[in-house]
């Protein structure tokens, strides 16, 4: 599989459900020199769609369908943030075709990147090897409010990734295991290399007494990506937070852990004051663009809600 690429280089790409890749091939993401000439169908590989707990780890095969993750009683009972996130992806049709591996490796939805031919000419943005992120000085309603660490301000779109970051998952490939916080790249999407495919996602079982949530704010109830999403994992001793993992989606080029919010809430009695303080800490470092300042109060609101749920 040496020439199979999961990023924008190379002539061959892997395909799972095809719900993102085929759309990307139709809409003009690929410059003609990089248009895939070979698709390698992962769905012919057996046993990559299992969902099972082994010891203290939930193991989900890369080909597990989003719908099956959402409806799994195992996921719903022990990893409810992930079940909730999966249930809010797209539509029933997409959830029944789309896989977890494809959901994590999907392309960003930035209109300057995704639809280069619809904007009066073929745009080659920074993410495609150009020199400019057109969102910065353009219409950036749905873009990053936490900057562009590598110059691109597109936001990472996956719902499951935000929950998996709160749950401290690891991404297993055919060559290595990658902690989720090291899996994403602000310019290429993921750190997957040539010939590297996701085979499994491992989720440590949260300690008993842990509270977990996933809340998504989108403009429509279905067929819509998160404008902002949050996922929280709180370990409690009575009403006191003893440990926290808080992940944000739709607000940065990668899913983002808010250690500022975590620090604000750990050691506190969980009440409206503590939740509001954590939400304020989360947005303290936000640097919204001209058209997306509205995301800041939404993020504060749904993070407060998530912490108090």
Ligand X SMILES: Cc1cc2nc3c(=O)[nH]c(=O)nc-3n(C[C@H](O)[C@H](O)[C@H](O)COP(=O)(O)OP(=O)(O)OC[C@H]3O[C@@H](n4cnc5c(N)ncnc54)[C@H](O)[C@@H]3O)c2cc1C
**Binding residues for ligand X, per CB under 6 A?**
6, 13-21, 23, 42, 62, 66, 89-90, 94, 97-99, 101-103, 105-106, 157-159, 192, 197-198, 223-225
Distance CA 309, CA 304 (A): 9
Task: Supply the minimum distance, in Å, between the C-beta of residue 256 and ligand X.
Answer: 15
Q: Which is nearer to ligand X, 52 or 223 (CB)?
A: 223
Strands, sheet with 240-249, edge to edge from the N-terminal-most edge strand: 210-217, 228-237, 240-249, 256-257
CB of 92 to ligand X, least distance (A): 11
**Residue 252 tokens, joined:** 């940065």
Cβ 1 to ligand X shortest distance, Å? 11
User: Do the Cβ atoms of 127 and 187 come closer than 8 Å?
Assistant: yes
Q: Between 129 and 209, name the residue whose CB sits nearer to ligand X.
A: 129
Q: How far is the CB of 198 from ligand X (least distance, A)?
A: 4
Q: Which residues sit opposite 256 in a β-bridge?
A: 248
Sign of the torsion formed by the C-alpha atoms of 144, 222, 26 and 4: positive
Classify burial at 202, counting beta carbons within 10 Å of its beta carbon; exposed 0-12, middle 13-18, buried 19 or more: middle
Residue 47 CB, shortest distance to ligand X, in Å, is 13
Nearer to ligand X, 211 or 216 (CB): 216
Distance of closest approach, residue 118 Cβ to ligand X, in angstroms? 17
Using an 8 Å Cβ cutoff, are 181 and 257 in contact?
Answer: yes
**Residue 178 beta carbon to ligand X: minimum distance, rounded to whole angstroms:** 12
62 vs 230, which CB is nearer to ligand X?
Answer: 62
From the centroid of its chain, how far is CA 185? 11
Query: How far apart, in whole angstroms, are the C-alpha atoms of residue 260 and residue 258?
Result: 5
Nearer to ligand X, 106 or 170 (CB): 106
Give the containing element (helix H, strand E) for 222: none
Coil vs helix vs strand at 65: strand
CA–CA dist 89, 54 (Å, integer): 26
The smaller minimum CB distance to ligand X, of residues 197 and 244, is found at 197
Tokens 């070979």 map to which residue?
Answer: 38
Nearer to ligand X, 23 or 240 (CB): 23
């Amino acid at each position: 599989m040496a020439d199979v690429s999961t990023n924008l280089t190379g002539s061959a790409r892997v395909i799972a459900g095809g719900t993102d890749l085929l759309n990307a091939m139709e809409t003009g993401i690929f410059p003609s020199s990089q248009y895939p000439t070979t698709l390698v169908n992962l769905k012919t590989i057996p046993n990559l769609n299992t969902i099972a707990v082994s010891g203290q780890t939930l193991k989900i095969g890369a080909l597990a369908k989003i719908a099956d993750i959402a409806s799994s009683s195992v996921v719903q009972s022990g990893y409810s943030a992930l079940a909730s996130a999966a249930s809010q992806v797209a539509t029933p049709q997409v959830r029944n075709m789309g896989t977890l591996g494809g959901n994590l490796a999907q392309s960003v939805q930035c209109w300057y990147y995704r639809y280069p031919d619809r904007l009066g000419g073929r745009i080659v943005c920074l993410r495609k090897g150009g020199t400019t992120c057109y969102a910065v000085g353009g219409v950036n309603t749905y873009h990053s409010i936490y900057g562009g660490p590598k110059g691109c301000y597109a936001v990472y779109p996956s719902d499951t990734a935000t929950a998996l970051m709160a749950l401290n998952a690891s991404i297993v490939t055919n060559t290595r295991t990658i902690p989720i916080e090291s899996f994403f790249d602000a310019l290429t999407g993921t750190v997957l290399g040539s010939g590297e495919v996701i085979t499994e996602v491992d989720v440590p079982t949260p300690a008993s007494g842990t509270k977990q949530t996933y809340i998504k704010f989108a403009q429509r109830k279905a067929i819509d990506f998160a404008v902002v999403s949050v996922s929280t994992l709180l370990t409690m001793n009575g009403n006191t937070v003893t440990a926290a993992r808080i992940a944000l989606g739709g607000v940065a080029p990668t899913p983002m852990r808010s250690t500022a919010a975590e620090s604000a809430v750990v050691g506190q009695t969980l009440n409206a004051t503590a939740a509001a303080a954590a939400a304020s800490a989360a947005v303290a470092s936000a640097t919204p663009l001209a058209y997306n300042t509205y995301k800041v109060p939404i993020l504060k609101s749904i993070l407060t809600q998530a912490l108090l749920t």
